[in-house]
Structure 1
Amino acid sequence: MVSGGPQGRDVRLSSLPGPHLTVQASELSDQTTPAQTGRIRPPVRRPAGSDHAWADQQTYSPPPVCATHYVALTAVTPSLSGDPLAVLGAGELDCVCHGEAIKAVPQTLPPPVSLITLTGTGIRQIERDDFLPYALHLRDIVLSKNAHLQRIRAHALRRLPHLLNIYVQHAPSLESVSPRAWYDLPALRSLRLVGTGLEGMPDLSGLQTGTILHMIDLDGNRIKSLPSNSINITTDQLSLANSQLESISDWAFNGSRIGTLQLNGNLHLKRLDRLAFRGLGSLRTLSSLGTVVSRFSLYP
């Protein structure tokens, strides 16, 4: 449950077992100086017989790159012991940084950060090892509505052993993703590049995971063609829905293992070659609702 007025936001972990605790994070305006800080109230040991966690106030100063914008910090993971006193110690933080004054991925967010959301920023490129300082705990990366984002560089997302999800959405200027952007991501479950300016199929061959990916979502991009051997991935679901696909060539998915392939809503698809799906293994479901092609032929 989230409550609070314009001066602050209380996040109550009311769904957790045992006594509740409150984490308070201030909403900082564009005029806020780095000296103006949010406050986190960590729990301290409560008197015997009390049904509530007691808290003393402790001041936390956000990093300057986010201090002039909105920073949300939320304890989300309870201690395995169920002791509310250990929630913040064993818990994790969600950090949201917003505003065009942010020109690069912040490097000094407070640990332990499990989710980083960058929204409406002025970032143009995701650089090499931008997220490496948070490798120990980082599980989710969200890049949302970053209109200036143009490139994801080589090794921008590597050596993140606990990363589960990468979500890039509403990035109309994104035109380049390095084939070496992804490296050493053994826990990765989903990759979503949705509503970007990509005109070609990104090279995903560098994805190295310890398990089969749950989803690769490439909906709403500007991808016009899938040449031969352009896709070589292993995933339960691949979605290329609502894109600008015009042609899919023979052997486009060669070497891939895909359970469900979604091609829904590709209104401009004119050519689907006879051997387009040759070399594709494990296919259970092919969905092409709303897609009409002038030449369509399955395996010979």
Structure 2
Amino acid sequence: MNAVASTCPENCKCTLNKIFCQGFSIKEFPQSIPPNTSTLLFSSTNIQSLKPADFETFAETLTMFAVKDSNIAKVEPHTFNQTHNLFALGFSGTMLTSLPKDLFQNLQALSTLTLSKNKIEDLQPSLFTPLVVLKILDLSRNLLTSLPEDAFQRLEKLEQLMLQRNSIRKLSSSTFRGLNNLRSLFLQQNNLTDIPAGIFDDLVNLEILHLQDNKITQLPSNLFSNLPKLNKLFLSNNQLSLLPSAIFFNLPNLTHITLYENQLSRLMPGTFGPMALQELWLYDNMLTHLEENVFSNLTEIRLLVLSRNRIQHISPGAFNGLMNLEEISLHTNRFISIEAGIFKDLPKLANISIENNQILHIPIKLLDGVSRLNLLELQNNSLPNLPKEFLNSLSKVDNIILSQNPWRCDHGIVPFRDWLGQYPEKVKNLTSVTCDTPPSLNGRNIGELKEDDINHSLHTFPTKSSSAPASDSTTVSEEIEDTSGGGSVGQGLSKDKIIIIVAIVCTAVIVSLIACVLWRRNKRGSQDLDRRRKTNSVI
């Protein structure tokens, strides 16, 4: 112990056979490394390069060597020729742009190789070939734009391969050939636009696959068909507009998948096969409708997120088979109406989110088949009222959010007002449930309205049968009577008014006719546009 301490290099800490050297004051490789050193770590140093002679005195005993956040820009060929017993080697946060092709030729015992957060631009062909027992290879956060076809050849023991946060644009179908033991593959945050067919065919033990944050526009139909052990699949933040039919079949162990932040416009029935999926994230896509049985194989799913799409319609039976679904998010879509009973046969459903839409009416049987809800979110829609029958069905709902709707406080609001008074504990932000119309009641808390408030507002708020036209009619009839027995002045004034009224009526009729014609023409144009959209839609 004393011998080791006495030979410990300057600016280094030595414990038994482990040495840790830190500080930018270190500009040269330390010369007095003890011969029994097994672990050598450099951090934040100004060492510029490494050469074979640096390791001569302790090469046989060295088992771990790592450099972190240092200015090393060059590792000479054959530097590690004598370090036969290295099982962990790392360069992270250095200035390295490339590595000699024979650098690892004698490292048959190496199990972990970390080359992350450097400036490596390319890899020599067969650079890693000698590493026959390598289990972990980290090439993340470099400047790679491509990979040699045989870059990982003979790495049959490899279990983790990290290639994320590079600039890789293209992969070969043979890039991962022979990696039968690979468990985790990280390809996120690159510039990939497509994935070659067959590229994952040999990865029969793969459990985690990261493809998110790329520019992938399409996927081959059988891309994942040979990945029976896949547990987690990340595809979010790409440019996918279509998923091939049965793309997610033969994935019985898949429990997690992300597809959010793509450009998906349609999900076809049969896209998802039977699997152990617990959550499905599909927000921030371009879905316009949900087809019958589209999720029917996802019998284990607990959470379904479809928010921030363009969904206008949900087919009856779209949620068939989701017997374990607990939460569904449909907020921030383009619903104007929503079908009755779409949530039936979902016995474990606890939370429904359909806020931030344009729903004008809630069907009285919306919650048919729902056993018990913890939360129903209806805020920020276009609801003027809620049917009494629907209010009765809210006995199965523990919490509901109703704010930011244009509630119309006429006589029809009375059942809603009474329900609010009876169940205030169910309503979150109760004081925000306020009248929108009539103007005299705007901002008033609906639950606090009195009969006199409503009756008084109806006298001051114009109805469809306004009193103004009746007054005009009486005036005209009176003036006509005056013209039959009155003087010349009264007679002339009555004729002028009659002419003005007739002109106004004729103008109104003409404008109505023109509007009708334009409406029909616009309707035909919209139908034609819809036909063209359907013709050009992705199928």
Same fold (TM over 0.5): yes
Choose from 283, 294, 310 the match for 1:219: 283
1:200-233 Cα offsets, whole Å, 9 max, x none, are 1254554233xx4211221221112113343313
Change (3 A) 1:244 1:168: same
Q: Could you tell me which residue of structure 2 aligns to residue 47 of structure 1?
A: none
- Which one of the candidate residues 201, 207, 224 is aligned to 1:132? 201
Tell me if structure 2 keeps the 8 A contact 1:35–1:61. no
> 1:237 touches 1:259 (CA, 8 Å); kept in 2?
yes
Measured in 2, the distance between the counterparts of 1:91 and 1:125 equals 24
Note the C-alpha offset of 1:152. Answer: 1.7
Separation in 1, partners of 2:219, 2:162: 21
User: Aligned partners of 2:161 and 2:138: how far apart in 1?
Assistant: 13
Give the conservation status (yes or no) of the 8 Å contact 1:224–1:247: yes
Counterpart contact for 2:210–2:234, Cα < 8 Å: yes
Flag structure 2 segments of 5+ consecutive residues without an equivalent.
Answer: 1-65, 73-90, 94-109, 148-155, 369-539
Say whether the 8 Å CA contact 1:250–1:277 is kept in structure 2: no
2:351 maps to 1:268:
no
What is the rounded CA distance, in whole Å, between the counterparts of 1:271 and 1:245 in structure 2?
Answer: 11
Matched, 1:197 2:263: yes
Residue identity in the other structure for 2:289: S
Three-state SS of the structure 1 residue aligned to 2:292 is: coil
| More helix, by proportion | 2
Alpha-carbon separation, structure 2, partners of 1:295 and 1:161: 46
Say whether 1:92 aligns with 2:175.
Answer: no
Deviations 1:18-59 (A, max 9, x none): xxx99441246463342595799999xxxxxxxxxxxxxx9x
Paired position in structure 2 for 1:255? 321
Whole-angstrom CA distance in 2 between matches of 1:151 and 1:70? 20
How many Å separate the matches in 1 of 2:316 and 2:194? Answer: 34
Does residue 158 (structure 1) correspond to residue 225 (structure 2)? The answer is: yes
CA distance in 1, matches of 2:201, 2:245: 18
Maintained 8 Å contact 2:171/2:196: no
Q: RMSD of the TM alignment (CA)?
A: 4.0
| Whole-angstrom distance in 2 between the partners of 1:206 and 1:113 | 24
For the residues of structure 1 that align with 2:157 and 2:111, how far apart are their CA atoms?
15
Q: CA deviation at 1:141?
A: 1.0
Aligned to 1:262, the other structure's residue is in SS state strand
- Cα offsets for 1:159-189 (capped at 9, x unmatched): 3222101111111x21111112123222111
1:281 corresponds to which of 339, 343, 346: 346
Q: Are 1:144 and 2:212 counterparts?
A: yes
Distance 1:22 1:3 in 2: 17
AA aligned to 2:347 is S
- Measured in 2, the distance between the counterparts of 1:111 and 1:251 equals 41
1:114 aligns with 2:183: yes
Aligned-partner Cα distance in 1 for 2:246–2:203:
20
Tell me the secondary structure at the aligned position of residue 343 of structure 2. Answer: coil
State the Cα deviation string for residues 97-152 of structure 1 (Å, max 9, x = none).
532432456324856321112234444334444312111x31111112212x1112
TM-score (norm. length: structure 2): 0.40
Paired letter, 2:254: L
Q: Aligned partners of 1:91, 1:24: CA distance in 2, in Å?
A: 11
SS at match of 2:211: strand
Q: Give the structure with higher Rg (CA).
A: 2
1:186 aligned to which of 249, 252, 261? 252
Distance in 1 of aligned mates of 2:343 and 2:121: 55
Amino acid at match of 2:181: P
More strand by share: 1
Distance 1:228 1:23, change over 3 A: closer
Q: Is contact 1:159–1:183 with CA below 8 Å preserved after alignment?
A: no
Distance (whole Å) between structure 2 residues aligned to residue 110 and residue 228 of structure 1: 39
1:31 matched to 2:114? The reply is no
Larger RCO, structure (CA 8 Å, separation 6 or more): 1
Please state whether the residue corresponding to 1:191 is helix, strand or coil.
Answer: strand
The one-letter code of the counterpart of 2:206 is L
Question: In structure 2, what residue type is equivalent to 1:25?
Answer: T
Figure out how many residues of one structure are paired with residues of the other and give that number: 250
Q: TM-score, normalised by structure 1?
A: 0.67
Matches of 1:193 and 1:101, distance apart in 2: 21
* Distance change >3 Å, CA 193–CA 161, structure 1 → 2: same
Q: Quick check: 2:191–2:214 contact (8 Å CA) kept in 1?
A: yes
Return the alpha-carbon distance in structure 1 between the equivalents of residues 138 and 114 of structure 2. Answer: 10
Q: Partner amino acid for 1:113?
A: L
CA contact under 8 A between 1:251 and 1:275: conserved in structure 2?
Answer: no
Preserved contact between residue 162 and residue 185 of structure 1 (Cα < 8 Å): yes
Seen in structure 2, the aligned counterparts of structure 1 residues 36 and 206 have a Cα distance that, compared at 3 Å, is: closer
| AA matched with 1:138 | L
C-alpha separation in 2, matches of 1:249 and 1:179:
19
Question: What amino acid does structure 1 have at the position aligned with 2:288?
Answer: K
